[in-house]
Structure 1
Amino acid sequence: MENTNDTHNVKRSFSLWVGEMREFLRGHFSLDEDKAQRDEVVAAISKGVVFRGVNLWVLIFATMIASLGLNVNSAAVIIGAMLISPIMGPIMGIGLSLGINDFELLKKALRNYALMFIVAIITSTVYFLVSPLSSNSSELLARTVPTTYDVLIALFGGLGGVGAKTRQDRTSTVIACCAVATALIPPLCTAGFGLATGQIKFFVGAFYLFFINSVFIALATYLMVRFLKYEKNAFIDKVRERNVKRLMMVITLVTFIPSVVIGFHMVRVSLFEAVADKYVAQVFRFPHTRVIECKKAYKHGDRNSRIELLLIGEPLGEEIIGNARAQLYNYGLQDVELIVRQARTGDRVDLKSLQLSYSELLDEKNAQIDELKQRLSKYKMKNIEYDDISREAGAVVPDIQSISLSKCLSYDVGGTVQDTLLICVVKSRQPMTEADAERLRRWLEVRTKIAQVKLYTE
């Protein structure tokens, strides 16, 4: 009987602890506190959907700033552009409209989304067409290939942004920070760069990244709306309600399902590349052989995944390479094809080409240095022994009290160096005669080996 009471007390204590923990978690993680009314949130997001007047001009200015940042490879400038960009408005509008069955809001959001895309693309394309800088900076290259991290950032950034939108106080910095994190405007500018420079690969990759980010931000908004249990719009006409719901369901499936599939594919690619990097780092560790290039290709169609390595140093034997292939199974890469290229194979020509390219680059740098030295020699002047000359000048003209010497270059109006001049200012105890002045000037020409001497007396 006593054991039964103890068991009952333990269960009761555990139930009380679970209840207290539930209340603690509910109090700290509940979104009901400071939650704005549904209609207020819908009105705020609907207002941000429209690109007209100031919103449109701010979008153009933000696109120009982001293009400048990408052009000069400045992350700080790009962040500034993302802070002022109103680009998340239509995307949140799409997610909200799908969550509350607002067909009119969906149409308005899609129209403004298309307008936003066209204006941003045209602005960035025009900028890069007239910009004198057209190199592929690291900031531009980073916006051409979407990764799993971009999907996750867009999803959680969207959740944070719409979560802040549903609060009564919407002056928080959360929305601006989410705009920076999701990085929507830089891919649009990169797409414009691709069009302006004729690099279609840049355009496709950047647009793909922008579309992926947009879809997952809209998905985040939809999930938050459903989590907060916002009331869906009701239609008086039941037939119209059924048709609208079907249409919105089709739009939802067509938009979200491919993106989710793409997202899972990107996750698989990222996992494969991470495991492949670990495999190469641990298996191909040799004291006199180094991996200088590692290419990883995930399976596509009937073609299996493959890892292609380029090695330099002491060649590896077939037995060692075979053992490395056998270890693929230990890393879950049993279906992966391993290709190893070494200097002792036909790739020796490639290594020589690599060395030749470095040699050519070094020769080019040396030529530039020589040219700069030649140009610098035009401005370089031989040292003058000013102290010796000052003492000797007193012997040439005894009445000299002090002498000032300055060596300079003379230019024509076109900026070309004409000659070297020596300017001499002499202070004499008594007025210097023309004969003494001429004798001093001729002596300075011989002494300094400068043909042009300008003599001034005080």
Structure 2
Amino acid sequence: MSENLFQENNTNTTPDSGEEIKKDFKGLLGNAQKFLFELLEIRSNTDPIATKESIIADIPFKGHTSWILICSIFIASVGLNANSTAVVIGAMLISPLMGPILGMGLSLAINDIDMLRRSLKNFTVMVVLSVLTAFLFFYLFPLRDESSELLARTAPDIRDVLIAFFGGLALVIARAKKGTIASVIFGVAIATALMPPLCTVGFGLAIGKPLYALGAMYLFTINTIFIGLATFLVVKYLRFPMVRYANSKRRRFIARIASLVGLAVMIPAGITFYDVLQESLFRKQAQEFLADTIEIYEFEGSGRYENDLTDLHFDKKYGSYIEVAILGTEEVPENIVNTWRNRKNSYTRLIDTELRVLQGGRDDSQQKFDYVNELYESKKAELLTKEERIRVLEEEVANLGRYASQSIPFKEITAEAKVNYEHVIGIGFSNRIQTDFNKTDTTALFEVKFKDGLSQNEGQAQMDKISDWLKVRLKDSTIQVRKVE
């Protein structure tokens, strides 16, 4: 009987326990949902009227604002020229470029075509004035080094898109809050970096490198579009009141125009994001491919792979390629290069990419050696630090002797000497680097060994004849000849 009671009690309590667990779980989910809503909810603490007024106040470009812009352009240009990050940050803090961009995003979101017109006009004037001022500065200023701060603004990637979009979100949310958060505005001004790309556009035009200007303008366009897009989305989410027109037909017309303009902005934004994402993924796989193949290749002699001369070129229309340079006298075997090409095809984004391996170590390839040198000269400005440039140049000087040996037809010289000089039993050749502490020279040195029994006068006469012959034969008056025992 006690056993039956136990079973009865057990059957009665089990459903109650299950219901209690469900209730506790639902309560936990409800509390978590409530907590997250209170944590992330921003509509209740938004002041649409004050936000709109503050953004509209920053749109006009005249008087004080124009002079502030000119000063910030000069400061940014000097900072980029001097490779000073601190000075560039200071220029970004005082730049008024953000005002018209926010105005464009806000006007599209609230259907205000007049505000959009004013924002576009002031934005265009600001951009033209910024580029023109930067161009005049770099054109007239005598020091125009291609610093790392400048070069960093010529090749945007997916990170710049993300920075611009989330920076724009933070900025509009901060502007919409009752009691604007000034520190957020300053931080976004630094993160999105609108001024430095425009200065870099002027720099590229001033030194005659339009690709620099195009890359920097591309970065500025990315920042502008995604800050405007973030503004549009936040204002729509916060449900700012739409502009009303007395004429219903005009209201519908303006709404359609604003919608079309908003769509026209979002479409290139999406295309830009996709293109930059594709290039970023291509570069990531290319770096992985290089790390798994070429960078770990062990050279037996004086050859080396120089990462700073690698060119990763992404082009969907005309074809992408990876170009690497092998410096030194050693040549990578063709079967190894073919192995690298086969390995490349295992990366999904590199299948149609061409692998170009430039080598300067072939004895009969003076033309290719010259081409590698030209490649180095064209790429050395892209080295990010002076220390890196010095290291590469020192290695090149140390290898000059090896390269020079390739231009000496040593086998032919020794064969002719054996026929013409019967007392010679051996010839050696090397390059000699010497300096008088003012300049460093590399000269060709031949060492000649004679048969035993040759008198000193006869030996000296033979040395003079061989020296004259080598200078005429090789067309080099600096050649030195030395007798060895």
Aligned to 1:370: 438
Aligned to 2:321: 306
SS class of match (1:15): helix
Residues in 1 aligned to 2:158 and 2:333: alpha-carbon distance in whole angstroms: 37
Q: 2:135 aligns with which of 118, 125, 139?
A: 125
SS class of match (2:324): strand
Q: 1:325 aligns with which of 341, 344, 348?
A: 341
Aligned length: 367
Aligned to 2:389: none
Residues in 1 aligned to 2:325 and 2:30: alpha-carbon distance in whole angstroms: 61
State the shift of 1:92 in Å.
0.5
Q: 2:351 aligns with which of 312, 316, 334?
A: 334
State the shift of 1:179 in Å.
0.5
Change (3 A) 1:32 1:300: closer
Query: In the TM superposition, what are the counterparts of 1:26-175 in structure 2 within 5 Å?
Result: 26-32=37-43, 35-175=45-185
Counterpart amino acid of residue 291 in structure 1 = Y
**Does the 8 Å contact 1:342/1:348 carry over to 2?**
no
Counterpart amino acid of residue 47 in structure 1 = A
Residues in 1 aligned to 2:163 and 2:113: alpha-carbon distance in whole angstroms: 28
Aligned to 1:286: 297
Residues in 1 aligned to 2:267 and 2:217: alpha-carbon distance in whole angstroms: 18
Q: Judge which range, 92-101 or 231-240, deviates more.
A: 231-240
SS class of match (1:330): coil
Residues in 1 aligned to 2:215 and 2:352: alpha-carbon distance in whole angstroms: 28
Residues in 2 aligned to 1:341 and 1:68: alpha-carbon distance in whole angstroms: 38
Residues in 1 aligned to 2:270 and 2:436: alpha-carbon distance in whole angstroms: 53
List runs of 5+ in structure 2 lacking aligned partners: 1-10, 378-392, 399-433, 440-485
Residues in 1 aligned to 2:24 and 2:366: alpha-carbon distance in whole angstroms: 75
Change (3 A) 1:161 1:135: same
Counterpart amino acid of residue 351 in structure 2 = Q
TM norm structure 1:
0.73
Q: Deviations over 1:282-324 (max 9, x none)?
A: 12322226432432222422x4433233234654444433333
Residues in 1 aligned to 2:339 and 2:201: alpha-carbon distance in whole angstroms: 45
Residues in 2 aligned to 1:367 and 1:167: alpha-carbon distance in whole angstroms: 70
Q: Judge which range, 341-350 or 258-267, deviates more.
A: 341-350
Residues in 2 aligned to 1:300 and 1:53: alpha-carbon distance in whole angstroms: 46
List runs of 5+ in structure 1 lacking aligned partners: 372-458
SS class of match (1:327): helix
Counterpart amino acid of residue 324 in structure 2 = L
SS class of match (2:273): helix
Q: Give me the CA root mean square deviation.
A: 2.8
Residues in 2 aligned to 1:368 and 1:103: alpha-carbon distance in whole angstroms: 75
Aligned to 2:33: 22
Residues in 2 aligned to 1:355 and 1:218: alpha-carbon distance in whole angstroms: 45
Aligned to 1:375: none
Counterpart amino acid of residue 46 in structure 1 = I
State the shift of 1:158 in Å.
0.9
Residues in 2 aligned to 1:109 and 1:98: alpha-carbon distance in whole angstroms: 11
Which protein has the larger Cα radius of gyration, Structure 1 or Structure 2?
1
Aligned to 1:419: none
Residues in 1 aligned to 2:133 and 2:73: alpha-carbon distance in whole angstroms: 7
Change (3 A) 1:154 1:355: closer
Change (3 A) 1:204 1:99: same
**Does the 8 Å contact 2:359/2:368 carry over to 1?**
no
State the shift of 1:362 in Å.
5.9
Q: 1:221 aligns with which of 228, 231, 255?
A: 231
Residues in 2 aligned to 1:305 and 1:198: alpha-carbon distance in whole angstroms: 25
State the shift of 1:28 in Å.
1.9
Q: 1:268 aligns with which of 270, 274, 278?
A: 278
Change (3 A) 1:21 1:290: farther
Residues in 1 aligned to 2:437 and 2:86: alpha-carbon distance in whole angstroms: 33
Identity between Structure 1 and Structure 2 (%): 35
Residues in 2 aligned to 1:45 and 1:369: alpha-carbon distance in whole angstroms: 65
Residues in 2 aligned to 1:199 and 1:297: alpha-carbon distance in whole angstroms: 18
**Does the 8 Å contact 1:341/1:347 carry over to 2?**
no
Change (3 A) 1:203 1:305: closer
Counterpart amino acid of residue 298 in structure 2 = P
Counterpart amino acid of residue 354 in structure 2 = E
Query: In the TM superposition, what are the counterparts of 1:1-16 in structure 2 within 5 Å?
Result: 2-16=13-27
Residues in 2 aligned to 1:368 and 1:60: alpha-carbon distance in whole angstroms: 51
